[in-house]
Chains A and B, each alone.
Chain A
């Protein structure tokens, strides 16, 4: 018992001293479990996140837009891989991780359960959804777990074009016909609140946050990052000459931040429970890809075994 206490204490002391934890270092079981849950959810989000954007690749309005969107979706696949690899260093296999996603046991970011209805959604997703994701991910670059932090550094480097790409789409539409402007505004209206929810529940309702902060998995609270996001978007929307769908949004001189209206968490919880507009469709698409790729995986292994024999 006493050795257990001292191991925990020594671990926390390392965290407090800003040392990175590496895969073979001793760590509390709860730290390992928390990380596996968080990193795998993050990986699943990248992989499922390819679907709403993949929806528009064939219908992009120009070749320039198409190659950019394709590159972005390829990046998401790569980010999924970096994250799965980081999760695997904690002692779970890729197959287990993938089974958890396909069986519906594991969660992924609820934002990807919303449909991408128009081309303007590619703009709003890039600007707002990637914008919110980057804010979270920049904070995670300083996470105490080495492999996760390193994966995040790589992801953030690559993501920097995603948000610009999205903003540029909206900016182009904002200078277009009244119909194009209306389409852009509609996309912003639909994506704003789901993006705000990406930062998770309010700090007062976030049970795991305090421990994650102590372990330096999390560096900033949900509400802190959400405020940062609002302050960024409230300024950038002016450049688009459009509005964010929040009547309570206004600059608060005293706080030095934008105030904003209450978030409808009932919607968030419904989507989380599986009742969002696209939950079933997303999982069905991932399962189909996995099942239809089975023969490729088997053939690759058979080919590798055969070549090994002939050497």
Chain B
């Protein structure tokens, strides 16, 4: 019944919603090539002016951290509270700091 065809590769879609903002991941889609991916992304993710710029990236090009290693992977940042401004004591009334 169905024609045998190799499936279109998967692309991740990133959209800049307004000038000055960063591109943000919004979802994914299948397309034969980058140009088709861009056009599909426009038709699917920006029908109501949700974007001024689109990036499409082959999903296979993304390397992700492993959720099973979340704790050890992010551990180095955990005990360094001195990286936050609230760590430091400054006299009350001191202005513009």
Contact = CB atoms under 8 A, between A and B. Distances in A.
A301 B28 contact: no
Describe B's contact surface by its main secondary structure: loop
Contacts of A303: 32-33
B8 A291 contact: no
A94 B47 CA distance: 23
A25 B36 CA distance: 31
B30 A94 contact: yes
Interface residues of B, number: 23
Interface string B33-51: 1001000000110011000
Interface stretch (A75-83, A165-173, A181-189, A232-240): A75-83
A93 B7 contact: yes
A300 interface: yes
A97 to B, nearest CB: 11
Describe A's contact surface by its main secondary structure: helix
Contacts of B5: 294, 297-298, 301
B3 interface: yes
B3 to A, nearest CB: 4
Nearest to B59: A88
B44 A78 contact: yes
10 contacts: A22-B67, A25-B67, A75-B47, A82-B27, A85-B27, A95-B7, A102-B1, A301-B8, A303-B32, A304-B32
Interface of B: 1-3, 5-8, 10, 27-30, 32-33, 36, 43-44, 47-48, 64, 66-68
